[in-house]
Amino acid sequence: MSVEIHPTAIVSKKAELGLNVKVGPFSIIEDNVTIGDNTEISSNVKIKDFTTIGSNCRISEGAVIGGIPQHLGFKGEETYVHIGNNVIIREYVTIHRGTSFDDGITRVGDNTYLMAYVHIAHDCKVGHDTILANAVTLAGHVKIGNYVFIGGLTPIHQFCRIGDYAMVGGASAVDKDIPPFTRASKNHAMLYGLNLIGLKRRGFTSEQIKLLKEAYRILFRKSPTLEEGIKEIQEKLPVTPEIQKLIDFVRTSKRGIAPEASKRK
């Protein structure tokens, strides 16, 4: 299977294109780009230097991948964008390279779906099997876990984290960390219990969900402080892998955890 490049497209001779790659009209692929097998690039796409894209990806019209960071300290150093396999990137998505202030890589994991107008800034890490709906905006250094859903028109403050299996409602404004397994929404985002639908879809058992519900209740609704909540969970509940993930996330938060809605005055 050969590469198909539209006559109006511009593809650098230094770019590496895998088998059966298709490049649409007026798209531009710069130097130092690697694209995996069976990836399709639509029209008017620009893929810039130091970008690696996996296999079986679909990139829609107007996307720009590998743009330089919107960071005043960036001085043109060699930094990267890494896109995994089976990633869908819809219209006008923008993904910027990393900076030397982090590990230099902006990363999007396998099987992720980026809907139209999503922006992923420098040094962000987006996990696998995650969905960012239309016009989700990630500021620099944001970390999104695996199996996460973020509703449209949601901005996320730099350095925030969203844990595995979490869901954030549309038009929220996230300025604190969202723990794994939880559901958050509003401006500014607050916690509204577990992401029950998402957990059931991912095969969590009734017993796993029951324990997570009780851990959530103790940690975010009952206890005066998070440390007291963690202590009570460890004393009263079996510390399953899921509960340990929740505890570890809370303990390592630097921006703080989004407040529980029932505690917001």
Domain 4-144 shares a fold with domain 200-263? no
Mean pLDDT by 10 residues, the chain (265 residues): 94 98 98 98 98 98 98 96 99 98 98 99 98 98 98 98 98 98 97 98 98 98 97 98 98 98 78
Q: Which residue has the tokens 């990363």?
A: 107
* Per-domain residue ranges of the chain: 4-144, 200-263
Instruction: Please report which helix (H) or strand (E) contains residue 182, including its range.
Output: strand 182-185
Q: Which residues are catalytic?
A: 122-123, 140
According to DSSP, residue 66 is labeled E
CATH 3.40.50.740 matches 200-263: no
Reduced to 3 states (helix: H, G, I; strand: E, B; else coil), residue 161 is strand
| Global confidence as pTM | 0.97
What is the b/e burial string over 61-77, where b = at least 16 CB atoms within 10 angstroms of the residue's CB?
A: bbbbbbbbbebeebeee
The predicted structure's pLDDT at residue 265: 53
The predicted structure's pLDDT at residue 263: 82
Q: Which residue has the tokens 């990139």?
A: 59
Reduced to 3 states (helix: H, G, I; strand: E, B; else coil), residue 209 is helix
CATH 2.160.10.10 matches 4-144: yes
The predicted structure's pLDDT at residue 88: 99
List CB contacts of 97: < 8 A, sequence separation 6 or more. Answer: 48, 50, 51, 66, 67, 68, 69, 79, 80, 81, 104, 106, 122
How far is residue 132's CA from residue 172's CA, in Å, rounded to a whole number? 13
